[in-house]
Structure 1
Amino acid sequence: MRAEEIVYPSIYSADQLFLYDELRRVEKAGYKILHIDIQDGVFCSNLSFGMKVVKGLRKYTSMPFQVHLQVMDPMSYIYQLKDIPNICEIIFHPSVEAYPGRVINTIKDMGIEAGFALTPTEPLEELQYYKGRIKSMLLWTSEADNRGAAFDINSLQKIKRTRNLFGKDLLIYTDGGINSQNLSLVLEAGADGFVMGREIFDSEDILVKTEELNEIFLRKSYIKPIRRG
């Protein structure tokens, strides 16, 4: 697999005044899935995109959306997302729901894959109850601490625990401070997909950054070298 397939650019880190141009940049670089954070200002202190913006993004790109709900009431957002086509996955935090299975069923009834997201302090073990019912687990590899959300080395152990508890069929995504300096560590811990925001959108040349990431995947045997000439 190449970076363009398993790295998900997080549009939240893009220049908010030039979202159309930022979409074009990641499309031109060949990325396949766009990651969208929806934040309500309660679950975490930030506000991100409302449905009007998400619908606007949909008008200008054919990239499938992977939606991460950082909200206290996932169901109210899920019902609104139902009207937006080409959403491949909705990920929510089960800790905010008394009955996460109800949310899973609602998402899957819409023909969309369902996944869980966990902050560094949200517990993992009891979620084994839902093994086989979710496609993925998105693990925060940093904390929303208002100090830059730096990568937390302790998150590597949680990635390994998740793999041990849920097995190889669960896709493990990571989100938070992932960059070319720590990507190898996250790969070795067992992650399958990588949400990257600032690492992608702060790059002067996304194509160059993508090749840099692909070199790391190549060294870790994630991709086969391309024969040229």
Structure 2
Amino acid sequence: MAERMRIAGSLWSVPPAAQASEAHRLRDAGLDVLHWDTTDGVFAREGGFSVETAAAMTGESGMRAEAHLMVTDPLARLDAWTGFCELVIVHAEAEGWRAALDRIERRGSRPALALSRGTPATFVPSDELAVLTMSVVPGEAGATFDESALATVRALREAASGASRLLGLDGGVTREIGRRATASGADWLVSGTDLFGSSTPRAWLSDVRGAQAPSHD
């Protein structure tokens, strides 16, 4: 049987004063993973969260966490994030990404590689590596969804050749796009604006998880 669809909630588009209460609201609706974006103002526009804020909010919420490092040099930054995140994502377009993936694993977290728009699925070096496909320019929270991202997810799933891998989609993920993403082979979604903007988040999560495809094993 397939593992439950991994849905991670991004608070980037939520006003700071409401972030803690919104994390609790979504936790009570069934969300169990928080997605923390951090940028360096070079690879992606300034924004996201500091490691101190993310760690404190994760601990207070009692939820699991993943970190998305949208930075030019992830190796220099990742140690602090592996301290409390079970999964840490670095970009294929960043310097030293291979070394960063190795260090994440040595630090005890699961490594994942993010593909920016325009980076092909064939860039990924292993059919077992977790991959997060971006459907927006990194750092552009709330931007319009790029349809080509679904084709990248499908190509990655087909390339897995039966291997068990985690494949995600991030950027502009609505409830409807979440259903389409699962049909394309995704078993990991990152949503911010649409999920946290929902008045019925429990139904949002249930609907998307209910669309999950059979196991890819």
TM-score normalized by structure 2?
A: 0.86
Aligned equivalent of 1:143, options 137, 143, 159: 137
Tell me which residue corresponds to 2:191: 196
Unaligned runs of 5+ in 2: none
Tell me which residue corresponds to 2:152: 158
Q: Give 1:145 shift.
A: 8.8
Q: Does residue 1:54 correspond to 2:54, yes or no?
A: yes
- Cα distance in structure 2, aligned partners of 1:145 and 1:40: 10
Letter in 2 for 1:52: E
Tell me which residue corresponds to 2:170: 175
Tell me which residue corresponds to 1:227: none
- Cα distance in structure 2, aligned partners of 1:153 and 1:12: 22
Unaligned runs of 5+ in 1: 224-229
Structure 1 residues 123-173: Cα deviation after superposition (integer angstroms, max 9, x where no partner):
331322x444x3x10001223596951111121111111112234412110
Tell me which residue corresponds to 2:110: 113
Percent identity over paired residues: 23
Q: Is the 8 A contact 1:29 1:210 kept in 2?
A: yes
Q: Is the 8 A contact 2:75 2:100 kept in 1?
A: yes
5 Å-filtered alignment, 1:15-30, equals 15-30=15-30
Classify 1:221/1:148 alpha carbon distance in 2 versus 1 (closer, same or farther; 3 Å): closer
Classify 1:147/1:111 alpha carbon distance in 2 versus 1 (closer, same or farther; 3 Å): closer
- Cα distance in structure 1, aligned partners of 2:140 and 2:49: 19
The count of corresponding residues between Structure 1 and Structure 2 is 212
- Cα distance in structure 1, aligned partners of 2:55 and 2:193: 23
5 Å-filtered alignment, 1:120-139, equals 120-128=117-125, 130-132=126-128, 134=129, 136-139=130-133
Tell me which residue corresponds to 1:210: 202
Q: Give 1:92 shift.
A: 0.4
Tell me which residue corresponds to 2:67: 67
Q: Is the 8 A contact 1:5 1:33 kept in 2?
A: no
- Cα distance in structure 2, aligned partners of 1:145 and 1:61: 24
Classify 1:53/1:161 alpha carbon distance in 2 versus 1 (closer, same or farther; 3 Å): same
Q: Is the 8 A contact 2:72 2:94 kept in 1?
A: yes
Structure 1 residues 188-212: Cα deviation after superposition (integer angstroms, max 9, x where no partner):
1111111010112122x3xx23314
SS at match of 2:69: strand
Letter in 2 for 1:23: A
Structure 1 residues 103-128: Cα deviation after superposition (integer angstroms, max 9, x where no partner):
12211111110000011112331322
Give the superposed CA RMSD. Answer: 2.5
Moved more, 180-189 or 65-74: 180-189
Tell me which residue corresponds to 2:101: 104
SS at match of 1:106: helix
Q: Is the 8 A contact 2:45 2:139 kept in 1?
A: no
Letter in 1 for 2:194: E
Structure 1 residues 65-110: Cα deviation after superposition (integer angstroms, max 9, x where no partner):
111111111012112224x33x110010022124x33212211111
- Cα distance in structure 2, aligned partners of 1:59 and 1:183: 27
SS at match of 1:19: helix
Q: Is the 8 A contact 1:5 1:31 kept in 2?
A: no
